[in-house]
Amino acid sequence: MRATKLMTAFTLGVASLIVAATAPAQSDTSGKVTVESKAVALGVGVSWGDGTLVYRGKQHKFSVEGLSVIDLGVSKVSAKGDVIFNSDLSGGHGIIFHKIPGQNLTALVHASFDGTGDISPDGTPFLGVRQVSINAKGQCGFAAFTSTQSGIYLSDNGAIRLAVDANAPLPDGSGPLGTVSSNALNDQGQIAFFAQPFPSPNGVFLASAGQLTSIARDGDAAPGGGNYSLGFPDPAFGPALNSAGSVAFASDLSTGGRAVFLSSGGAVSRIAGPGDAAPAGGSFVSADSPRINSLGQVAFFGQTSDGRLGAFLFSGGSISKVAASGDTPLPSVTFTYVGSPLINDLGEIAFGADLSDGTVATFLATPVSGPRPAGYSDQAATQERLSISRERAQVLKARHPQPLTHGNRGPVTQ
């Protein structure tokens, strides 16, 4: 039975650290990876670090910038954990990797300026690959370009096609889309993305069934006051997309600060921004980094007028605090910084945090009560599953020796 009570309370658990190392590859598109981690939260969000990839018989140094994980929660059968990320390698190579639980790390797309990249649908090699996204079906979207074409491509069971052509006309007919990036993909094949159609204003768009819709454009009036200021594709802007085609995104404002917005049913509304009341007291100074689930709940990062930084949840028209600096997750230990959150269809919210004892950890906030998507059992998110001793928590936290910085508010998705 689906619960209807608004989520206002959460239990917190420290998520364990996982560093993935694959077995030696047997095919030309797999690789053996070793990683020296700087901060890792694989399975709940983001990893960044330096590593070495043995790919096609050659060693490549690389840096991991971001991992996107589908379905943080537990379904009726098993946990899901497909991971996709892009990495720049030595020698001018760029590769998008896909990791399926129990399988080797696979190179989904290889691009290179030397012409040795994988052949694109237009018959020419991929020269570069950028932001990636993944849906629950394992389909992967990525921004890429060749010598003749660019846009957002969709990989489905090994077949790659151009899903959003950068040369496609804008919805208002004022010119081509231009540079496209920061894409989000849902199970219906809809793609939300950021576009820079110079000299036309930048904006957030939705591609659905061959149709392009403008969600927000730089300079347009924003709900709640001010105008959108979308001068560059900041990852904290999003967009994020759910199965219903609702788009959550953030934007700088001409009046100062930034706010989080929701586009649903053809209308855009403001969720939180400068001057809006904050549930933890005071008001919001800024809000960004939205993530949305199939229930339309939006988790986001916010800064409040009393100096607190934290993760917040918009659900059923109301905003609640998940966690913020100053909260006490463990005895005698407080959050000194709470980073950008992720949310799944169970309403579980993952976030990274700096702690007052000098360590950093990844936490999972589980709703005590709240909506449940169809097909999920009520037992999937219980306090017992997240229960952890303080001693065990200290061991897990000790594995995160480096503090998070404001620029790496993990966990995040590409």
CATH number at residue 291: 2.120.10.30
199-206 contact pairs (CB < 8 A, 24+): 199/175, 200/170, 200/174, 200/175, 201/230, 202/230, 202/231, 202/232, 202/233, 203/230, 204/230, 204/237, 204/238, 204/239, 204/247, 204/249, 204/263, 205/171, 205/177, 206/241, 206/245, 206/247, 206/263
Is residue 413 in some structural domain?
Answer: no
Amino acid 330: pLDDT: 83
Residue 406 is assigned to a structural domain of this protein: no
For 17-68, the DSSP string reads P----PPPPSSTTBEEEEEEEEEE-TTTS-EEEEEEEEETTEEEEEEE---E
Cis (ω within 30 of 0) for the bond into 239? yes
Domain holding 41, by residue range, is 10-398
Count: domains in the chain: 1
**DSSP letter string, 308-359:** -EEEEEEETTEEEEEEETT--SBTTB-EEEE---EE-TT--EEEEEEETTS-
Give the pLDDT of the chain (414 residues) as one tens digit per residue: 222 223 335 566 554 322 222 222 333 444 444 434 333 333 333 333 455 555 455 555 554 443 333 333 322 222 356 778 888 877 788 988 887 877 777 888 999 998 999 999 999 999 999 889 988 888 899 999 999 999 999 999 889 999 999 999 999 888 899 999 999 999 999 999 999 998 899 999 999 988 999 999 999 999 999 999 999 989 999 999 999 999 999 999 999 999 999 999 999 999 999 999 999 789 999 999 999 999 999 999 999 999 999 999 999 999 999 999 999 988 888 999 999 899 988 888 998 888 898 888 888 888 876 555 554 443 333 322 333 344 544 554 454 444 333 333 333 333
**Is 376 inside a domain boundary?**
yes
Determine, yes or no, domain membership for 407: no
Q: 223-239: b or e for each residue (b if 16 or more CB lie within 10 Å)?
A: bbebbbbbeebbbbbbb
Residue 1 falls inside a structural domain: no
Q: Does residue 88 lie in a domain region?
A: yes
Within-domain flag for 290: yes
Rounded Cα distance, 350 and 280, in Å: 19
Beta strands 318-324 and 211-217: pairing type? unpaired
pLDDT of residue 81: 66
| 403 domain residue, yes or no | no
